[in-house]
Homo-oligomer: A and B are copies of this chain.
Amino acid sequence: METMGRHVIAELWGCNDEKLNDMSYIEETFVGAALKAGAEVREVAFHKFAPQGVSGVVIISESHLTIHSFPEHGYASIDVYTCGDRIDPNVAANHIAKALEASSVENIEVPRGAGPVRIKETSVNALS
């Protein structure tokens, strides 16, 4: 397995607060995002916090997807990390942003396993 990977860090603001608090919906969204990107799902672990918020991870053969949601702030913190160059992590990240109805998305991409870390690109998109 090659060490080289792409790690997309996505900051989602202005999300639908009900969806951010719906663990089943988030879990389905994340598994769907992984499959849409062409990844192979290996482990799924989600946790619902009281009084609100969801954290979770999908481990894929190609690395992982994670979320931490803050319904009270309309904010979700997303990571999509894929090893190799077969899968585009942005496909999954964009699927998640749309499913959570984010009105503002900031993505940065961090190259992993390829020597010294250099931040590759930053994009900020107001979606509405």
Binding site for B on A (CB under 8 A): 1, 3, 5, 7, 9, 11, 42-47, 49, 53, 55-57, 59, 61, 63-64, 66, 68, 70, 72-73, 75, 77, 79, 81, 83, 106, 108, 110, 112-113, 116-117, 119, 122, 124
Contact between A64 and B63, CB atoms less than 8 A apart? no
Identical chains bound together, number? 2
Q: Is the CB of B5 within 8 A of A7?
A: no
Known contacts A5-B77, A73-B3; A106 and B113 CB within 8 A of each other: no
Residue of B nearest to A46 (CB): B43
In-complex Cβ contact of A68 among B64, B72, B119 (8 A): B64
Q: Is the CB of B77 within 8 A of A68?
A: no
Q: Given known contacts A42-B55, A49-B61, A57-B45, is B106 in contact with A117 (CB within 8 Å)?
A: yes
A9 and B3 alpha carbons, distance in the complex (Å): 15
Separation of A116 and B105 alpha carbons in the complex (Å):
10
What are the 3 tightest A-B residue pairs by CB atom distance, in nearest-first order? A45-B45, A43-B45, A57-B57
Q: How far is A112 from B104 in the complex, measured between Cα atoms in Å? A: 14
A66 & B66 in contact (Cβ 8 Å cutoff): yes
